[in-house]
Structure 1
Amino acid sequence: MIAVISADLLSSSSYSKELLEQAIRALNREFRELEKLTHPASEFEIYRGDSFQGLIYAPQEALHFALRIKTAINRLHLNDSESNKAFKREADLKMAIGIGSYDFKRDSILESNGQAFQLSGRTLDEMKKYNRKLRLKTPSDNINEEFDASFLLFDTLSDKWSTASAEVIYYLLKGFKETEIAAELGISQSAVNQRKKAAGWDAIDVLLARYKKVINEHFSNGK
């Protein structure tokens, strides 16, 4: 079993050239880092300039990867001179995670196919009719129902993030400690802690742990 992430930049036609360039650079940077975290290496490809697809051989890591990518985009802004302040988010993603078999392998993942690709792609298409930004589709209806509710709550939480909130969550997802984030951003540890709480990190951490446990039990190690 593998995981496939299919995603679109939201309302990318309204992005300035500078913001779109920032988004593409951020995506490519995250892809290069994430590809090294699994064995075999994960694969990501951008297409149409505002969409991407990722193949992850460790499906239990797919949500963590998706949130890394989301926060890398959510933290973007064009106010470089005041980069440590909170701004309204200017960029976001719509993402669908599909978990299933990998039936047709090609050199490019955009030419590959299988259950995971179909579940991910079809779910992303369905999401365009609704105000949803993150969904999961697997062969298990029970798992789909559980995480449909959880991801809806996550959407509600993350829609309230500022760029500063997303940036702190981004570094937490990378494994940084509060003191390390403070040093990276040039702010106090107490400011990091405040942003962490405001962004709902404790709930996100629980969601990540639950996802990993469930997917490990049902779909890892060839199941």
Structure 2
Amino acid sequence: MQYVAAKLDMVGSRKLARRSDVQKHFLVMAEEINAKFADHIEAEFVVTHGDEAQVLLRAFKAKWVFRIFEHLSLCMAEVDLRCGIGLGTISTDLQEKSIGMDGEAWQHAKQAIDIAKKKRQVIRFCGFHPELEPHLNAIGNLLCHVQGRWTKEQTETIHLLSKGHTQKEIAALIGISQAAVSKRLTAAGWQHYFHGRESLELLLGRAL
């Protein structure tokens, strides 16, 4: 059976002024991710070394791996995150939490995050269809680049949008006009990002 494993870490975490607070936030986010994406996660999202984490999904749920990373990035916008995503089998028993397992999926995820570090990329895919994998890497990093340029206000607005709120509801929650919400989304390039994410998710399904 094929799985998708993801390994994540904080970039330059040891240099963070409030590292302890950020690590606590990371642990809180692990619980939130496990609740929010419970229907799509095969082995729970786990923080492994304070500033590293990993999660496992069934291959047919691959599209959700980017959503998980996106959600974490939006909620922890104060730090830079990196993600390595690997496709393959696992050679050990499936665990409830994403620890104590080995196999192709985990090896490819480790390879992916190591390459991402070396190439200074935000996200990297390994073990996927060889003709499609370069496109996954290109689109994935383009989306992360766009997200990385969002202002604090744009990130806040898009985070609320990702929770299912309408623009009218977001305007009321933030205390601005609906027109101002629309302006923020336009300035962030939200529609382009949204369609780019759809393309990445479609490609992920075909690259298994």
Would you say same fold, with TM above 0.5?
yes
The one-letter code matched in structure 1 to 2:82 is K
After superposition, the Cα gap between the structure-2 partners of 1:159 and 1:41, relative to the gap in structure 1 and judged at 3 Å, is: same
1:91-117 per-residue CA deviation (whole Å, 9 max, x = no partner) reads: 121112222223322534221122221
CA distance in 2, matches of 1:116, 1:155: 22
For 1:146, the equivalent position in structure 2 comes to: 135
List aligned pairs for 1:93-108, cutoff 5 A. 93-107=81-95, 108=97
The one-letter code matched in structure 2 to 1:105 is D
For 2:35, the equivalent position in structure 1 comes to: 33
For 2:119, the equivalent position in structure 1 comes to: 130
List aligned pairs for 1:186-205, cutoff 5 A. 186-205=175-194
1:66 aligns with 2:55: no
After superposition, the Cα gap between the structure-2 partners of 1:63 and 1:179, relative to the gap in structure 1 and judged at 3 Å, is: same
Greater RCO (CA < 8 Å, at least 6 residues apart): 1
For 1:9, the equivalent position in structure 2 comes to: 10
For 1:83, the equivalent position in structure 2 comes to: none
The one-letter code matched in structure 2 to 1:23 is H
1:50 aligns with 2:58: no
- Specify which of 90, 110, 115 is matched with residue 99 of structure 2: 110
What SS does the corresponding residue of 2:39 show, helix, strand or coil? coil
Moved over 6 A (4+): none
Q: How many matched pairs? A: 203
TM-score (norm 2): 0.85
What residue ranges of structure 1 are gaps of 5+ in the alignment?
75-89
1:66-100 per-residue CA deviation (whole Å, 9 max, x = no partner) reads: 211111111xxxxxxxxxxxxxxx31211122222
CA distance in 1, matches of 2:5, 2:100: 13
CA distance in 1, matches of 2:24, 2:184: 23
Contact kept in structure 2, 1:4 and 1:120, CA below 8 Å: yes
State the Cα RMSD in Å: 2.3
CA distance in 2, matches of 1:192, 1:138: 40
What SS does the corresponding residue of 2:159 show, helix, strand or coil? helix
The one-letter code matched in structure 2 to 1:66 is F
Calculate percent identity across the aligned residue pairs: 22
What SS does the corresponding residue of 1:129 show, helix, strand or coil? helix
Contact kept in structure 1, 2:146 and 2:193, CA below 8 Å: no
The one-letter code matched in structure 1 to 2:51 is D
